[in-house]
Amino acid sequence: MSKAMKSFKRRDFLNLSLGTTVAVLLSQCSRGSFRLTGSSSAANQAQFHSSEGGLLSLDLEAVAQQVKLGNRTANLLTYNGQMPGPQLEARPGDTVQIRFTNRLNQPTNLHYHGLHISPTGTGDNVFLDISPGESHTYEFQLPEDHPAGTFWYHPHYHGLVAEQLFAGLAGLFVVRGELDEIPELKAAQEIFLVLKDMALDRRGHIPRPGHMTEMTGRMGDLLLASGQINPELTIAQGGLLRLRLLNACPSRFLQLSLEDHPLFLIATDGGAIAAPIELNDLVLAPGERADVLVHGTQTPGQYRLLNRPFNPAQGMMGGGMMGRGGMMRGQPNQSRTETVATLTYSNTTSEISLPSQLLPVDPLPEPQTVRQFTLNHGMGMGMGRGMVFLINGQPFDHTRIDTQVTLNTVEDWEIINTGTMAHPFHVHVNKFQVISRNGQPAPYAAWKDVVSVSPGERVRIRMAFQDYTGKTVYHCHVLDHEDRGMMGVLDIRSA
Ligand code: C2O
Ligand code: CU
Ligand code: CU
């Protein structure tokens, strides 16, 4: 996110409470009347599972379900009938047991995006094929030193990931910990916003993606904040609102800003940064998360959280290689600014200041190995196969090991984008720090698991392989690109 954060806006949101199959307002003109009151509201409780006595245990079902979106009925894929899925919360050291059943008519599985857990067996095993009607119990333990942060779960069955996520399969996995104990953050109101786009035809079905989206990935014209359209968020005068944002769109970059309020970044994908950073806007690539604080110091009133069009073919750091609109033939119309949520000042007052310090982000040792990963695309071989997306010239093959690394070593990876659109590069199991972009040092240290790489850019990331051996993956988080080949197998072996 550093790139994203650096100069753009965030999009954002609101809180999320989605009731189960509950009313989400879809029509553009109606504002949700939900009061977002943070994770303690009744609406949130309904779909909220927290660990107790060191154990988070639940049944989770992937199931096609009709969900009310405002005045429309949408035919979606859901976890336990909810979109987004239930919010899960655990603490470092907890054991997690998820008895998962596939009630879809196609294979699926679960991935725990950003969690530092084993990639094998009953852990974060993305090579599993859970057939329709089958069940699998995921069971793993969060390490005692797992950072607090905003993580999430979604399907990871290669070839169907974009389709299943777009149809509604995604939920938050929150790890509570040290960051949450900082007094100002404890006092802040907290709202989670799962930002996800959606497209529906007149009958409430998700249309098949057209040819035009082969390059860009599927996108929808509805932008939901935790399953709601333009929900209302409240802030106390003088108070702090902690917005916890996830870009759960399969392909869309978000560029968020809040009218008349800066956003103070406090955490990225992998947890806290050292001190708040003031942003006028925030770019979130697909898969990225950000925690930001809003300070209620403006004249009481209503302020819109906006998503401005963001062109992923353009360099993100100012200017870009092709200029606005240059390469984006076939891009769905993303030219309008959307209201994601509306912030309203309540009658209550509060006096909370911004925290000055958060948590240290320790630098990683110098790398033992440096590797290059070149991202590009081409035309598929077979007839009518369309675009394929490649890493180092090859499409994904689960039987091939692309990158073998050694446990307890540090590596730098240079991600080089020689194509024409941005690719948010994501690595499973271990988080990383962005070191530089085109040789320019990253402006601040942050833990990331997704980093967007613009056309023509070379981004260097640094990663330590810790605690877990086994096979896992790295890939582009524009999930249509991943499904069309932009993924590689990473094998972590003990020395
Ligand atoms: Cu959120 Cu492998 O992805
Ligand atoms: Cu992931
Ligand atoms: Cu991509």
pLDDT of 416-467, one tens digit each? 999 999 999 999 999 999 999 999 999 999 999 999 999 999 999 999 999 9
Question: Which residues have a Cβ under 8 Å from the Cβ of 483 and sit 6 or more positions away?
Answer: 158, 159, 160, 161, 162, 163
User: Is the CB–ligand 1 distance for residue 158 below 6 Å?
Assistant: no
pLDDT band at 311 (very low <50, low <70, confident <90, very high): confident
Considering only CA atoms, which residue is closest to atom 1 of ligand 1? 113
User: Is the CB–ligand 1 distance for residue 424 below 6 Å?
Assistant: no
**Over 60: is that where the pLDDT of 12 sits?**
no
Q: Whole-angstrom Cα distance, residue 211 to residue 482?
A: 17
| For residues 264-286, average pLDDT | 98
Q: Whole-angstrom Cα distance, residue 127 to residue 139?
A: 16
The pTM of this model reads: 0.88
pLDDT band at 313 (very low <50, low <70, confident <90, very high): confident
Alpha carbon of 29 to ligand 1 centroid (Å): 34
| For residues 68-92, average pLDDT | 94
User: Is the CB–ligand 1 distance for residue 426 below 6 Å?
Assistant: yes
Question: What is the model's pLDDT at position 20?
Answer: 24
**Over 80: is that where the pLDDT of 331 sits?**
no
Task: Give the number of the atom of ligand 1 that is nearest the alpha carbon of residue 482.
Answer: 2
Q: Residue 329: phi, psi to the nearest 5?
A: -55, 140
Is the bond preceding residue 84 a cis peptide, omega within 30 degrees? Answer: yes
Alpha carbon of 25 to ligand 2 centroid (Å): 29
Question: What is the model's pLDDT at position 314?
Answer: 61
**Over 60: is that where the pLDDT of 35 sits?**
no
The ligand that comes nearest to the alpha carbon of residue 116 is 2
Question: What is the model's pLDDT at position 456?
Answer: 95
Question: What is the model's pLDDT at position 152?
Answer: 98
Cβ-in-10-Å burial (0-12, 13-18, 19+) of 64 comes to middle
CB 14 within 8 A of CB 341: yes
Q: Whole-angstrom Cα distance, residue 446 to residue 436?
A: 12
| For residues 2-10, average pLDDT | 32
The ligand that comes nearest to the alpha carbon of residue 486 is 3
- Dihedral of alpha carbons 180, 185, 188, 192, sign: negative
| For residues 256-276, average pLDDT | 98
pLDDT of 387-413, one tens digit each? 899 999 999 999 999 999 999 999 999
Spatial CA neighbour of 241 closest among 35, 1, 495: 35
The ligand that comes nearest to the alpha carbon of residue 424 is 3
User: Is the CB–ligand 1 distance for residue 470 below 6 Å?
Assistant: no
Task: Give the number of the atom of ligand 1 that is nearest the alpha carbon of residue 428.
Answer: 2
Question: What is the model's pLDDT at position 382?
Answer: 61
User: Is the CB–ligand 1 distance for residue 49 below 6 Å?
Assistant: no
Alpha carbon of 377 to ligand 2 centroid (Å): 21
Question: What is the model's pLDDT at position 47?
Answer: 86
Q: What token pair was written down for 188?
A: 């802040």
Question: What is the model's pLDDT at position 321?
Answer: 33
Alpha carbon of 169 to ligand 3 centroid (Å): 20
**Over 80: is that where the pLDDT of 325 sits?**
no
Tell me the percentage of the chain whose pLDDT exceeds 90: 80
Judged by DSSP in three states, 224 sits in strand
Number of neighbours of residue 52 by Cβ within 10 angstroms: 10
User: Is the CB–ligand 1 distance for residue 289 below 6 Å?
Assistant: no
Alpha carbon of 177 to ligand 2 centroid (Å): 21
- Dihedral of alpha carbons 60, 192, 220, 378, sign: negative
pLDDT of 333-342, one tens digit each? 457 899 999 9
Mean pLDDT, the chain, whole residue set: 87
